[in-house]
Amino acid sequence: MEAENLTELSEFLLLGLSDDPELQPILFGLFLSMYLVTVLGNLLIILAISSDSHLHTPMYFFLSSLSFVDTSFISTTVPKMLVNIQARIKDISYMGCLTQVYFLMMFAGMDTFLLAVMAYDRFVAICHPLHYTVIMNPCLCGLLVLASWFIIFWFSLVHILLMKKLTFSTGTEIPHFFCEPAQVLKVACSNTLLNNIVLYVATALLGVFPVAGILFSYSQIVSSLMRTSSTEGKYKAFSTCGSHLCVVSLFYGTGLGVYLSSAVTHSSQSSSTASVMYAMVTPMLNPFIYSLRNKDVKGALGRLLSRAASCLLRDTTSELRGCYGSLKQM
């Protein structure tokens, strides 16, 4: 059989985190809980921001975009993993694997861009407060997000088109719980030199430029705050940046941890275990970081839940009255 035909017939096997049958129910319950918490937390952030007019500002517009990307990012991998654990299977189709790779790259790249854009927003708010509303106007905010989507769309598409030319043998095993791009390239039967070059260049560009933007923004913020004599002003500025700094540290810290663990141990099992941090833990913790450290978000969440409880109570009362009226007529 020709190598080209192998790709059409192939189904990859995702080896997952463990082969121990006794651990499968525990892993299923753990990952399902993490997934539900992540989706619920990020959706609450989006609903709170969209329903509260006080939060219709650039900072919270970017935060709602980040919550959407985090929800999409975790939804790319976890549902398939949960299905495989529950059904006691390991397979994923060729097209399903490529789809995972594409959306993983796109949403991970969007995370880096949004974190850089949010750092720029804080830089303008603290260093140029009088011109903030003029600089960070709705048109610019929308343009920054659209430009980020456009760039990462083409980067991901180029990588997938190159990967589609690779050949794989039937029943190829991927030592991971999802189709991690680097792992997929390792199991290809054909030459992956060009793919690796594009992947490393894209990773460098999408990593270096956003990180450089974040570092520059915060260097300017710190420099501006050092010239401020007001202690209250410094505390307020640091409090507005605290949540973003925590998310940045968590995102890049877990990503760097995965890279170092892969480079040092060369163990696919340890690499897939470390990937749980940035693929699941980071999207899950982001809503808690912003809601616990931000009074505005906490207030908006409280008002949203209060309105939801009031509506539920009103509907329940109406139903009870309707039932009571029906009983009286009988």
Mean predicted lDDT score pLDDT of the chain = 81
Spatial separation of the C-alpha atoms in residues 144 and 157, rounded to whole Å: 20
Q: Report the share of the chain in percent with pLDDT over 70.
A: 84
Return the pLDDT at 327: 45
- pLDDT greater than 90 at residue 240: no
Return the pLDDT at 120: 93
In a domain, 227, yes or no: yes
In a domain, 209, yes or no: yes
In a domain, 302, yes or no: no
In a domain, 300, yes or no: no
Return the pLDDT at 4: 43
The model's pTM: 0.85
Please state, as a whole number, how many other Cβ atoms lie within 10 Å of the Cβ of residue 108: 22
User: Span 208-218, mean pLDDT?
Assistant: 89
User: Span 130-156, mean pLDDT?
Assistant: 92
Q: How confident is the model at residue 34 (pLDDT cuts 50, 70, 90)?
A: very high
Return the pLDDT at 322: 59
Return the pLDDT at 287: 82
User: Span 256-284, mean pLDDT?
Assistant: 69
Return the pLDDT at 3: 44
Q: How confident is the model at residue 135 (pLDDT cuts 50, 70, 90)?
A: very high
User: Span 284-294, mean pLDDT?
Assistant: 78
- pLDDT greater than 90 at residue 258: no
Spatial separation of the C-alpha atoms in residues 68 and 59, rounded to whole Å: 14
Q: How many domains does the chain have?
A: 1
Return the higher-pLDDT residue of 281 and 236: 281
Return the higher-pLDDT residue of 329 and 154: 154
Spatial separation of the C-alpha atoms in residues 47 and 300, rounded to whole Å: 9
Return the pLDDT at 1: 41
* CATH number of the structural domain spanning residue 224: 1.20.1070.10
Distances (CA, A) of 39 to 36, 79, 302: 5, 12, 18
In a domain, 329, yes or no: no
Return the pLDDT at 263: 54
User: Span 136-143, mean pLDDT?
Assistant: 93
Return the pLDDT at 293: 66
In a domain, 308, yes or no: no
User: Span 201-218, mean pLDDT?
Assistant: 85
In a domain, 3, yes or no: no
Spatial separation of the C-alpha atoms in residues 325 and 330, rounded to whole Å: 9
Joined tokens for residue 190: 């054909």
Distances (CA, A) of 233 to 240, 245, 312: 11, 18, 42
Strand pairing report for 11-14 and 91-93: antiparallel
Write out pLDDT tens, residues 43-91: 988 988 888 888 888 988 999 999 999 999 999 999 998 988 888 888 8
Q: Which residues of 278-311 are buried (b: 16+ CB within 10 A; e: fewer)?
A: bbbebbbbbbebbbebbebbeebbeebeeeeeee
- pLDDT greater than 90 at residue 103: yes
Return the higher-pLDDT residue of 316 and 296: 296
Q: Domain range holding 127? A: 10-293
In a domain, 263, yes or no: yes
Write out pLDDT tens, residues 149-199: 999 999 899 989 998 888 888 778 888 888 888 888 888 888 888 888 888
End-to-end CA, the chain: 77
Distances (CA, A) of 131 to 1, 56, 124: 66, 18, 8
Return the pLDDT at 323: 54
Element (H, E) at 269: helix 268-276
